[in-house]
Structure 1
């Protein structure tokens, strides 16, 4: 299997695309996190360790409320 190194890690090449400017560009199989999990992880961290975030971005309670709101809206849009 062909691989390509990116930032010290090797990823499988799953195909190629042609670009007018760049020429042939490899498509790599790089694992991605969903938007939902991207927001869920900071919420979990803030709930577990609120003292670490107390002075950041207007207070941990405000950030937690914003993350809850985003997650609720995302679920409603995605699963309705």
Structure 2
């Protein structure tokens, strides 16, 4: 990567860390919050015939993780273009 100056590099990494932090919070809420802490509350609802808490623990967290990877890729590509460090 070739940044024009240190300020641009710091701004890039600041935005990068912000994106990562937001996505990690979502991942934590879905995997730990919905899959463990709120499982009893969510089990009162059904999703495709399964209890929602069970579904989040077995499938929902995986789907969310894959979606977060896709979102991260799109956000980082946009960030790279914004700062002129894209390929």
State whether TM-score is above 0.5: no
Q: Which has the higher contact order (CA 8 A, sep 6+)?
A: 2
Q: Which has the higher helix share?
A: 2
Determine which structure has more spread, i.e. the larger CA radius of gyration. 1
Q: Which has the higher strand share?
A: 1
TM-score (norm 2): 0.36
